[in-house]
């Protein structure tokens, strides 16, 4: 049998296509041509320590199931393995009163910590379900996604079978369009137009063809021959033996299912916050797990009762009567994993969505016994009518509209991967019910994580849109006009080498790059991902003093977007995240537009890598050129007091005549300061209508070491409109 944890992730490419002026990463251009000095990684990070913060989302409801508001940190107490902990952080998130605020729609809910956001996993069971019922269940899931989820909620879609294990179709995302497509297709091949390979599963790709809806698991055990009237005792024994063989097969399938689902629970523990697993299934024979429930209409139960009364115990199947002890242990272990992962199973019985014979009614009741047990043991519910599932679940989820997010720093973590039991108590509060995660796992080394756990960690960083600084990264994003309806948007990612080399011993350095862009609706519009392998053999010091600069691009229509960028050391897991808002103008309006000032990077300052072409992409002209010569721009230029940096200004739709250009330098608080010399040297001829490129120089004269912003303004001689653009800069402190 295949591994129960196998997911259909494509392998990221390690090969790199490099185009001038970027050079091959495996050859590595000579860095530090200008003698730039950088700190030794051991000196820079030796005093830094990692402090683990445990976040606990807590829901409190009264006797009527209504959220209890107005609580403070002083009302709570946290116990970690029975030891009281100091509450280091407290926050209230009320979905009923949450206002969008001034931020753009695409990222207005990114301010909510990931642990406080609700996560839904729509999991479709292919082992114990008829494909007809599965296909009909999609409508209920679609209705919930489009009409019931809060805008801040995240959801994912997956299918599961014993034969092939779980398969993630779309990862946890706010993108309702991708979720709807995933539910509509369930990964079936040939139904999707987008065949791009997205390892994080934000955007649906061409699925593995062996994951179609072709499995149809057995629908429970068969009636034993011993039930037939008039049969001899001997034939009754033989019939029981045959039935036991069939039930043994079914037991093995349920045992495999529980093992595979345990793996799903462990992986879901990677995601912060409460997870509601909405499990669409017809279930399995509940007698395998719980034994026969009292039922005077069940001829099998009546026959067993009569055999016990007569002392004919050899005709009684104890597993059928009391349930299989080993299976009970396995299923309870699975449920414990879901509880530890802060997962609630909301089980939806979809057996009523297909036409059944009257005899199926009893089978459904028997199966529902097991389904109810599975849901109830994780704090969820069994929804027996899938057609009414949405309204039922909405009532359940109303209790989680108000969440208290508590944080603490554990005193002792113990061994990696060890589980810690936690308990949250309310002080001096009666008549309320509190719900929270039951524990947490001590972090494991990144290289020990399952590939899906690594993927979910990356997708969580992308979705949460919170800056992360394990790696020192900077990002430059700028929209170049491609045609009147779209822009070519280069994304340049700079990662300092010293931060990449922390805890990294091998000479081969694999670095993952991810960039996703969301529009104002929160929908993914484009992305690129790539793993590059850098050879730092005998060049570690040079690399530590510089780093890697990656060049990718996005294709975007006019509009407002948020570009979400993640870089990660693929061995240690150290990550850096940056989020850059960008506006692509309406080029058809031919309004003046000024791109950020591009500082020309000194040759050899970085190890440079260019993206692979996307499928069907014939390649676009390299946009960073002046007077026909290519250059490499700097995301955040670092200047010495004596430096004179070259700058290229790119402007669209400015009228003919003399351009009035001004500049100012702002400090880290946005206040203008005295210092810096900005001089325009040339307005070049581009040969492209409406496109201007100007060269300039900048000296940080009079600026002390620190963080600044260079702001440039250009006055359009035709409309007298003033266009502004800016770029962050650093001025290096003078050494001894």
**Residue 641 pLDDT:** 85
**Residue 309 pLDDT:** 65
Longest dimension (CA), the chain: 110
Are the C-beta atoms of 281 and 26 separated by less than 8 Å? no
Phi-psi region of 428 (alpha: psi -120 to 50; beta: other; left: phi over 0): left
Closest Cα to residue 459, out of 195, 154, 177? 154
Q: What are the residue ranges of helices labelled H in 29-85?
A: 41-45
Strands ordered across the beta sheet of 439-441: 83-85, 76-80, 419-426, 439-441
How far apart, in whole angstroms, are the C-alpha atoms of residue 221 and residue 246? 7
How far apart, in whole angstroms, are the C-alpha atoms of residue 89 and residue 75? 13
Are the C-beta atoms of 277 and 121 separated by less than 8 Å? yes
How far apart, in whole angstroms, are the C-alpha atoms of residue 8 and residue 331? 25
Neighbours of 86 (CB within 10 A): 9
Are the C-beta atoms of 255 and 249 separated by less than 8 Å? no
**Residue 683 pLDDT:** 85
3-state secondary structure of 598: strand
Question: Phi then psi for 415, rounded to 5 degrees?
Answer: -70, 150
How far apart, in whole angstroms, are the C-alpha atoms of residue 663 and residue 712? 4
For strands 660-666 and 706-715, give the pairing: antiparallel
Quickly tell me which residue has 């398969």 as its tokens.
Answer: 167
How far apart, in whole angstroms, are the C-alpha atoms of residue 325 and residue 1? 23
Are the C-beta atoms of 441 and 417 separated by less than 8 Å? yes
Are the C-beta atoms of 330 and 258 separated by less than 8 Å? yes
314 secondary structure, DSSP code: G
Query: In the numeric block, which tokens belong to residue 330?
Result: 């396995």
The 10s digit of each residue's pLDDT in 208-250 is 333 333 333 333 333 332 333 333 343 344 344 444 445 556 7
636 secondary structure, DSSP code: S
How far apart, in whole angstroms, are the C-alpha atoms of residue 331 and residue 283? 13
**Residue 38 pLDDT:** 39
CA distances from 537 to 509, 541, 542 (A): 10, 10, 10
624 secondary structure, DSSP code: -
How far apart, in whole angstroms, are the C-alpha atoms of residue 523 and residue 202? 10
Q: Which helix (H) or strand (E) holds 155?
A: strand 154-161
Closest Cα to residue 251, out of 315, 322, 313, 330? 330
Query: In the numeric block, which tokens belong to residue 340?
Result: 């530890």
Are the C-beta atoms of 725 and 694 separated by less than 8 Å? no
For 736, residues 6+ apart whose C-beta sits below 8 A from its C-beta are none
How far apart, in whole angstroms, are the C-alpha atoms of residue 197 and residue 10? 7
Q: Which helix (H) or strand (E) holds 362?
A: helix 360-376
Are the C-beta atoms of 211 and 169 separated by less than 8 Å? no
How far apart, in whole angstroms, are the C-alpha atoms of residue 487 and residue 482? 5
**Residue 97 pLDDT:** 78
Dihedral (Cα; 254, 257, 258, 264), 10-degree rounding: -170
Domains and CATH numbers, the chain: 1-52+452-633 (2.60.40.10), 56-96+402-442 (no CATH), 115-400 (3.40.50.410), 636-736 (2.60.40.10)
How far apart, in whole angstroms, are the C-alpha atoms of residue 349 and residue 369? 11
For strands 629-630 and 486-496, give the pairing: unpaired
The 10s digit of each residue's pLDDT in 168-182 is 999 999 899 899 889
**Residue 285 pLDDT:** 77
Question: Residue 561 pairs with which residues in a beta bridge?
Answer: 582
Closest Cα to residue 624, out of 650, 652, 593, 592? 650
Query: DSSP readout, 83-123?
Result: EEE-EEEEEEEETTT----SS-GGGTTTTS-GGGS-EEEEE
Which residues in the chain show pLDDT less than 50? Answer: 1-50, 100-106, 190-195, 206-245, 357-359
């Amino acid at each position: 049998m295949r591994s129960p944890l196998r997911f259909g992730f494509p392998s990221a490419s390690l090969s790199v296509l490099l185009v001038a002026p970027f050079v091959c990463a495996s050859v590595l251009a000579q860095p530090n041509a200008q003698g730039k000095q950088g700190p030794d990684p051991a000196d820079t990070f030796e005093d830094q320590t990692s402090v683990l913060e445990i976040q606990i989302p807590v829901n409190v409801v009264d006797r009527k199931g209504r959220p209890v508001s107005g609580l403070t940190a002083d009302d709570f107490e946290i116990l970690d393995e029975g030891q009281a902990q100091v509450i280091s952080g407290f926050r209230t998130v009320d979905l009923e009163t949450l206002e969008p605020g001034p931020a753009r729609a695409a990222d207005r809910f990114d301010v909510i910590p990931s642990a406080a956001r609700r996560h839904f996993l729509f999991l479709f069971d292919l082992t114990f379900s008829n494909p007809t019922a599965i296909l009909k269940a999609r409508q209920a899931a679609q209705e919930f996604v489009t009409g019931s989820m809060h805008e801040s909620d995240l959801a994912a879609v997956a299918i599961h079978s014993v034969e092939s294990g779980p398969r993630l179709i779309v990862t946890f995302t706010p993108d309702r369009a991708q979720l709807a497509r995933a539910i509509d297709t369930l990964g079936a091949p040939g139904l999707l137009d987008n065949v791009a390979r997205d390892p994080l599963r934000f955007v649906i790709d061409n699925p593995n063809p062996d994951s179609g809806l072709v499995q149809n698991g057995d629908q429970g055990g068969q009636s034993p021959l011993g039930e037939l009237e008039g049969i001899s005792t001997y034939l009754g024994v033989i019939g029981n033996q045959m039935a036991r063989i069939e039930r043994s097969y079914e037991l093995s399938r349920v045992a495999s299912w529980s093992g595979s689902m345990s793996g799903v629970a462990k992986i879901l523990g990677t995601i912060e916050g409460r997870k509601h697993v909405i499990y669409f299934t017809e279930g399995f024979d509940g007698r395998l797990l719980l034994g026969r429930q009292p039922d005077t209409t069940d001829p099998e139960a009546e026959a067993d009762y009569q055999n016990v009364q007569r002392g004919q115990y050899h005709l009684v199947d104890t597993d059928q009567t009391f349930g299989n002890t080993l299976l009970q242990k396995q299923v309870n272990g699975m449920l414990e994993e879901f509880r530890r992962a802060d997962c609630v199973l909301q089980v939806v019985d979809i057996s009523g969505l297909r036409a059944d014979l009257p005899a199926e009614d009893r089978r459904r009741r028997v199966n529902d016994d097991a389904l109810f047990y599975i849901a109830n043991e994780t704090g969820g519910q069994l929804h027996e009518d899938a057609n009414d599932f949405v309204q039922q679940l909405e009532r359940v989820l109303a209790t989680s509209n108000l969440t208290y997010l508590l944080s603490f720093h554990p005193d002792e973590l113990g061994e990696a991967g060890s589980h810690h039991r936690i308990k949250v108590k309310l002080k001096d509060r009666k008549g309320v019910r509190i719900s929270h995660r039951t524990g947490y796992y001590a972090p494991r080394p990144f290289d020990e994580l399952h590939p899906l756990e690594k993927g979910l960690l990356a997708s969580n960083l992308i979705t949460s849109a919170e800056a992360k600084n394990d790696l020192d990264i900077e990002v430059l994003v700028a929209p170049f006009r491609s045609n009147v309806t779209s822009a070519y948007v280069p994304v340049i990612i700079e990662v300092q080498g010293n931060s990449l080399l922390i805890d990294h011993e091998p000479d081969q350095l694999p670095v993952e790059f991810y960039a996703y862009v969301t529009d104002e609706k929160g929908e993914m519009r484009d992305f690129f991902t790539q793993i590059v392998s850098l050879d730092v053999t005998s060049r570690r010091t040079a690399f530590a003093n510089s780093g890697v600069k990656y060049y990718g691009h996005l294709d975007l229509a006019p509009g407002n977007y948020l570009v979400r960028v993640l870089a990660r050391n693929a061995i240690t897991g150290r990550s850096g995240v940056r989020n850059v808002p960008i506006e692509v103008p309406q080029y058809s309006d031919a309004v003046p537009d000024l791109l950020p000032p591009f500082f020309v990077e000194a040759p050899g300052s970085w190890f440079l890598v260019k993206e692979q072409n996307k499928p069907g992409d014939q390649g676009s002209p390299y946009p960073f050129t002046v007077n026909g010569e290519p250059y490499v721009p700097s995301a955040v230029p670092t200047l010495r007091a004596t430096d004179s940096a070259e700058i290229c200004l790119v402007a669209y739709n400015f009228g003919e005549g003399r351009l009035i250009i001004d500049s100012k330098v702002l400090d880290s608080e946005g206040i203008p300061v005295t210092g810096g010399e900005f001089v325009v040297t040339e307005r070049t001829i581009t040969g492209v209508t409406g496109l201007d490129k100007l060269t300039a120089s900048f000296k940080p004269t009079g600026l002390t070491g620190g963080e600044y912003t260079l702001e440039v303004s250009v006055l359009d001689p035709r409309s007298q409109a003033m266009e502004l653009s800016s770029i962050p800069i650093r001025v290096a402190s003078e050494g001894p």
